[in-house]
Structure 1
């Protein structure tokens, strides 16, 4: 990784964090309704019975209403638990029971299923700071989801969850950055071809 790419990513992440931090509660509430509606549409399109997702932090697009919908509909929800070795364990979640995990992010409470549990997923919803028109996802710099997606033998559809202004013309890419199949925003569902 060159210093230029590292610096570019760092600056872009800082800008995106600030945008998220300054959204009003009304903007977040309105966005949550659209995000949930569009996530439900994606899950139904793929007939997803097992969904791997995550518990959003306060500044991220809110995943909880979607997770509640999935659980209420009898779907299996897998939620990540960060490990110190940079991998993700998984647990079945209800979208509500949580604790503070590594790096201060919310994590589900439940039986640890191990890293290979994600192989059961029919759909994966991942966090992102931004996605570009090629489907390149920029995370927050820890690499958990890039490692997870890169290690899967058979990867189901992967959708990044972002706000509308976080689909950019281009994001800096490194060799380990796994592309996504689509992005879900409050107003649209975008699919990418690779």
Structure 2
């Protein structure tokens, strides 16, 4: 990717981060409720009994209620734990509500740590994003954790990125290492992206 494209990605991330910080508590709460309903429906549609998700930060679309409800329904939910080497460990979500601050100040689970390959057994992956376009290109926050994870999986399950409605864009710059997603989930809709495009 050229220096100009990299600067465009940096500028876009900064703009998206700023927009997220301007959302009111009521807007965040409404978005979390909508997202929970969309994710519940997605899990049901895939008949998933094991999923990976993440604990959202205060500015991200809220995933906490979805995780809690999934655990209550007996779905095995793996949550990521960041490592200094750029890989993700995983822990099984439980109903304790115990969390710790991860490597980048984000909330992470405190349960038994499973290695990077633990995620190979999930039926569905739900991952964070800054933005997603309609071809399945995902713009992350620039650390590459999920691209590395998805790229290393032999039988990768469907991968859905979570964003706010305004973060579904027509197109995004794509680098060689960027892993496409199969769909995007927002507080109001779930968009499945054709495998031919992804």
- TM-score normalized with structure 1 length: 0.98
State the match for 1:31 in structure 2.
31
The whole-number CA distance in structure 1 between the counterparts of 2:113 and 2:146 is 17
User: Is 1:104 matched up with 2:105?
Assistant: yes
Q: Which runs of 5+ in 2 are unaligned?
A: none
Residue 97 of structure 1: how far off its partner (Å): 1.7
User: Is 1:131 matched up with 2:132?
Assistant: yes
Residue 29 of structure 1: how far off its partner (Å): 0.9
Residue 72 of structure 1: how far off its partner (Å): 0.3
- Count of matched residue pairs: 194
- The within-5 A match list for 1:33-182 is 33-94=33-94, 96-182=97-183
The whole-number CA distance in structure 1 between the counterparts of 2:147 and 2:92 is 21
Residue 4 of structure 1: how far off its partner (Å): 1.3
Residue 94 of structure 1: how far off its partner (Å): 2.4
The whole-number CA distance in structure 1 between the counterparts of 2:170 and 2:73 is 36
Kindly provide the CA deviation profile for residues 73-103 of structure 1, in whole angstroms up to 9, marking residues without a partner as x. 0111100111110000111112722100101
The whole-number CA distance in structure 2 between the counterparts of 1:133 and 1:146 is 18
Residue 171 of structure 1: how far off its partner (Å): 1.1
Kindly provide the CA deviation profile for residues 143-180 of structure 1, in whole angstroms up to 9, marking residues without a partner as x. 00000000000011110010000000111110111110
Q: Which runs of 5+ in 1 are unaligned?
A: none
The whole-number CA distance in structure 2 between the counterparts of 1:80 and 1:32 is 20
State the match for 2:193 in structure 1.
192
CA-based RMSD = 0.9
Residue 105 of structure 1: how far off its partner (Å): 1.1
